[in-house]
Amino acid sequence: MSRLVLDVLKPHIPDLIEFCRSLSEVEGVKKVSAVVMEVDAETDTVKITVEGRDIDFEALRERVRELGGAIHSVDEVVFE
Amino acid sequence: MFRLLRGSISRIMRYSGAGEFSRRYAVMNAFDGIVTILGIVLGSTLLGEASAGNIVAAGVGALIAMAISGVSGTYMAEKAEQERRIRELEEAMLMKLDNSIIAEARKRAAVFSAIVNALAALVAGLVPLSPYFAVLSGSLTPHLAFYISLGLSLGFLFALGLFLGRIARSSMIVSGLKSLAIGVATILLITLLNLFL
């Protein structure tokens, strides 16, 4: 898996920078980019694009959960 | 599992907001520590003939009691407060946050605040008490120790006021003088009490 676009709900803290930095440390991930879609009282909805080689999706999902977030949907997947 | 978080106080602060209330607790309890010792020193010197040993014993006893009450009280209050925040966040996220770094940081924040709370009172109280330790070791006279202790108390209160002024980004001098006035008011009240007893 070389590219994933995720719809993620996260709390305001950790902020987007820390959130993405932490995701970029997951095995197989080379690049993480994110766009904020919506800001609510307690949460942010963000679209996160993860690129790399052999991305470990389970590890990625676990990391999102550790950071207090939840993957709501996988909107795009690329295998190479 | 949480190598991300381990040992990182700054992360605890950022994820839980503990920096702000730890600062608040530190100032509040430093005040408590100083004014308590000021009261003990003044009361025992003006109202009776207490020896330096008595003052040190009473002062250290009061500070230990304050530290214990600070640790337990703050831990319980702060833990409840932090758990409420986690529950609120869980409701917003529609999921459990049990193993997340946010929940972990917030739980540690309660311990951190409790320690800060206790240490602030203890350290701040020991400053005005220190001249009496010098009396016990024979390097100061009790008379001189009394005035140095008062000076240290008022100086420390003024410094705390300056610090609060800086936090509030208002006039540091005015804030320092306000806090100094609290010390002076304590001295006046106890002296007044001395006249009637």
pLDDT tens per residue across span A29-61:
999 999 999 999 989 999 999 999 999 999 999
**Domains of chain A and CATH, by start:** 3-78 (3.30.70.1340)
Contact A65/B at CB under 8 A: yes
Cβ distance of B102 and A13 shorter than 8 Å = yes
* Exposure b/e, A37-57, CB count within 10 A at least 16 = b: eeeeeebbebbbbbbbeebeb
Please tell me the predicted confidence (pLDDT) of residue B3. Answer: 52
Q: What is the ipTM of this complex?
A: 0.78
- A9: which chain B residues are within 8 Å (Cβ-Cβ)? 93
The tokens for A61 are 């999902």
> What is the average pLDDT value for chain A, to the nearest integer?
94
Q: Across the beta sheet with A29-39, what order do the strands follow?
A: A29-39, A43-52, A3-11, A70-78
Question: In angstroms, rounded to a whole number, what is the distance separating the alpha carbons of residues B108 and B121?
Answer: 21
In the predicted model, residues of chain B with pLDDT beneath 50 are 1, 4-5
Please tell me the predicted confidence (pLDDT) of residue B102. Answer: 87
Residue of A nearest to B100 (CA): A66
φ, ψ of residue A73 in degrees (nearest 5): -160, 155
The full DSSP string for A4-67 is EEEEEEEESSS-HHHHHHHHHTSTTEEEEEEEEEEE-SSEEEEEEEEEESS--HHHHHHHHHHT
Contact A36/B at CB under 8 A: no
CB nearest B101 (choices: A9, A43, A68):
A68
pTM reported for the whole predicted model? 0.77
Cβ pair B101, A68 in contact under 8 A: yes
Please tell me the predicted confidence (pLDDT) of residue B4. Answer: 47
At residue B95, the 3 state secondary structure works out as: coil
Cβ pair A70, A64 in contact under 8 A: yes
Q: How far is A45 from chain B (nearest CA, A)?
A: 10
Please tell me the predicted confidence (pLDDT) of residue A47. Answer: 97
- B4: which chain A residues are within 8 Å (Cβ-Cβ)? 22, 66
Cβ pair B18, B12 in contact under 8 A: yes
**Burial degree of B7 (CB within 10 A; 0-12, 13-18, 19+):** exposed
Cβ distance of A42 and B88 shorter than 8 Å = yes
pLDDT band at A68 (very low <50, low <70, confident <90, very high): very high
Instruction: Give the closest residue to B136 by CA, choosing from B59, B62, B191.
Output: B59
Question: In angstroms, rounded to a whole number, what is the distance separating the alpha carbons of residues B47 and B34?
Answer: 19
Please tell me the predicted confidence (pLDDT) of residue B124. Answer: 93
Q: Give, rounded to a whole angstrom, the gap between the first and last alpha carbons of chain A.
A: 6
Cβ distance of B14 and A13 shorter than 8 Å = yes
**Interface with chain B: mutation pick from A15, A42, A61, highest number of B CBs within 10 Å:** A42
